[in-house]
Amino acid sequence: MATTPLIRPAQPADAAGIAAVHVDSWRSTYAGMLPDDYLISLSVDTHSRRWRALLSSGVRARRTYVVQGEGQAIVGFASCGPQRTSLAGYGGEFYAVYLADHVHGRGWGRRLLGAMAQDLLGAGLHTAVVWVLRDNPSRFFYERMGGVLLAEQPISFAGQRLSEVAYGWTDLLPLARMAADPHVGS
């Protein structure tokens, strides 16, 4: 019997599953944007240790959610918290949204964004931004979810000069509704 995927807060025991999605997503999403040798060097073990430490730290400022699929496997994750940059008027930030390739297009990205919006609202943060590489085709997901292009800045990463763009939401309530219904905003 197939189980319906579920979004829930991440636990330290989820670290290996999060790390696997993280590394696989980077390799598929950033191929052609980042050097192959950098992407090949990504280690699930290293990322797993980092995620375990982060999830075990008890720091409430950064919240992480997972999508738990069939057989209890982690097939996606997202994290959020207070804005880490200085874009005026935006209190929260979506730090990451990653899904395994085989679950794209099923509404789980919308639901993850919705869960994070609910979380930020519960923390008194009614606005949010997300930073994404300009050349990442997944950035248009944020536009479909109502994000407005706010800024662009150059960054150096993995020996490359890249550009990242910020999208913002001045009202997280419409996103929060997507946690319950992934078709809201479609």
Which residues lie below 8 Å from residue 93, measured CB to CB, with a gap of 6+?
80, 81, 82, 83, 84, 85, 128, 129, 130, 131
Q: Phi and psi (nearest 5°) for 62?
A: -105, 125
12 inside domain: yes
Tally of domains in the chain: 1
Q: So what's the pLDDT on residue 69? A: 82
Q: What is the CATH number of the domain that holds 142?
A: 3.40.630.30
Higher local confidence (pLDDT), 78 or 184: 78
Domain of 167? 6-177
Asked whether the predicted pLDDT for residue 1 surpasses 80, the reply is no
Band (179; pLDDT cuts 50, 70, 90): confident
Q: So what's the pLDDT on residue 180? A: 65
> One-letter amino acid identity for 78?
A
Instruction: Write the pLDDT tens digit of every residue in 120-172.
Output: 999 999 999 999 999 998 899 999 999 999 999 999 988 899 999 999 999 99
67 inside domain: yes
